[in-house]
Structure 1
Amino acid sequence: MSLELVWNNEQEEMEIDDRLISLLEDILQKAGIQEGVDSGEVDLTFVDNKRIHELNREYRGIDRPTDVLSFALNESGEDEPEIVYEVDEDEQGGIPDMLGDIIISVTRAKEQAEEYGHSLERELGFLFVHGFLHLLGYDHQDEASEAEMMGKQEQVLSQVGLTR
């Protein structure tokens, strides 16, 4: 399995340590196995409320902060250009399949962890697997699809010990 997590930290509210990244990598592997995705790259960026507010307004037209945003790169809607990577025949391995970007507001994650009465790690794990499922095309526009997504998220989180 070659599912890879690449991450960036663009916030100063919380130190992002190796333990957290290791946990998120484990979540990615378990979610990949669950969904039959055995290769690809997921780019994760940690931001604050100000930055996620800007992104939410710019890309979704919603003028408020949110907890997580996902931008799938293998999805092309009517108005979205299809992204095609060409690999030179001489290159070994080529470019990994880019699944997309997940952006998490550490500010909102802290608020929600407190509100729901669970750890910050659980909230960050929940937001990450939620974003990953969005990259794969899952949505929660109605009760049935929301229940399906919640079940998949909880199954992955329980495998890494992040239960409620």
Structure 2
Amino acid sequence: MSVQLVWNNNQEVVEITEELIGTLEKLLEKAAEMEKITDGEVALTFVTDQEIHELNKEYRGIDRPTDVLSFAMNESIDEELDIIYDLGENEAIDLPEILGDIIISVETAIAQSKEYGHSIDREIGFLFVHGFLHLLGYDHQDEASEAEMMGKQEKVLAEVGLSR
């Protein structure tokens, strides 16, 4: 078992290459390994500033675009729904736990990559790991929790070769 990445592209600003998806899969593998997550699924969607603005306003009450949003699926699915039976074979199929959704605005990622002086792939990778850690309950409301989260993000990015 492993943590799987399922992705969608709802924007046409940046081409989402197989190489980028491969890098994100490696980042997910490293971050999951670091957090001792052995099974699950993460849904990633690439969007425009307009779409993330609407989501940010609707779900967080903040009327502006942002770089990344995470929606954790903390509730466990009832055990009856955890297993689907194949009627032909009557064998149980285990479903991966859905960890949650990560939404990344590529327009904001482009602007931030220019501001910080690194590649768009590095910025998207950073936002993806940041979003993944949020799915697991990490936050950055104070200096200590921010330092912990930033340290974990940088470690994962460095292991995949996306250091600053």
Fold-level similarity (TM above 0.5): yes
Q: What residue number does 2:18 align with?
A: 18
Q: What residue number does 1:37 align with?
A: 37
1:50: how far off? 0.1
Report the Cα distance in structure 1 between the residues aligned to 2:44 and 2:119, rounded to whole angstroms.
Answer: 20
Letter of the structure 2 residue corresponding to residue 146 of structure 1: E
Q: What residue number does 1:156 align with?
A: 156
Indicate conservation of the 8 Å contact 1:72/1:99, yes or no: yes
Indicate conservation of the 8 Å contact 1:6/1:44, yes or no: yes
User: What secondary structure does 2:41 align onto?
Assistant: strand
Q: What residue number does 2:49 align with?
A: 49
Q: What residue number does 1:115 align with?
A: 115
User: What secondary structure does 1:88 align onto?
Assistant: strand
Note the alpha carbon deviations across 1:77-119, whole angstroms, 9 max, x for none. xxxxx65460234354332100000000000000000000011
Indicate conservation of the 8 Å contact 2:43/2:100, yes or no: yes
Report the Cα distance in structure 1 between the residues aligned to 2:49 and 2:114, rounded to whole angstroms.
Answer: 16
Report the Cα distance in structure 2 between the residues aligned to 1:6 and 1:159, rounded to whole angstroms.
Answer: 22
Q: TM-score, normalised by structure 1?
A: 0.92
How many pairs were matched up?
158
Q: What residue number does 2:137 align with?
A: 137
Note the alpha carbon deviations across 1:17-69, whole angstroms, 9 max, x for none. 10000000000000001011011000000000000000000000000000000
Q: What residue number does 1:59 align with?
A: 59
Matches within 5 A, 1:92-111: 92-111=92-111
User: What secondary structure does 1:45 align onto?
Assistant: strand
Q: What residue number does 1:88 align with?
A: 84
Report the Cα distance in structure 1 between the residues aligned to 2:78 and 2:67, rounded to whole angstroms.
Answer: 29
Percent identity of equivalent pairs: 66
CA RMSD of aligned residues (A): 1.3
| 2:6 is aligned with 1:6 | yes
User: What secondary structure does 2:11 align onto?
Assistant: coil
Q: Post-superposition, which runs of at least 4 consecutive aligned residues in structure 1 deviate over 6 A?
A: none
Can you give the 5+ residue segments of structure 2 that lack an aligned partner in the other structure?
none
| 2:52 is aligned with 1:72 | no
1:152/1:108 CA distance change after superposition, 3 Å: same
1:132: how far off? 0.2
1:17/1:91 CA distance change after superposition, 3 Å: farther
Letter of the structure 2 residue corresponding to residue 129 of structure 1: V
Report the Cα distance in structure 2 between the residues aligned to 1:60 and 1:25, rounded to whole angstroms.
Answer: 28
Can you give the 5+ residue segments of structure 1 that lack an aligned partner in the other structure?
76-81
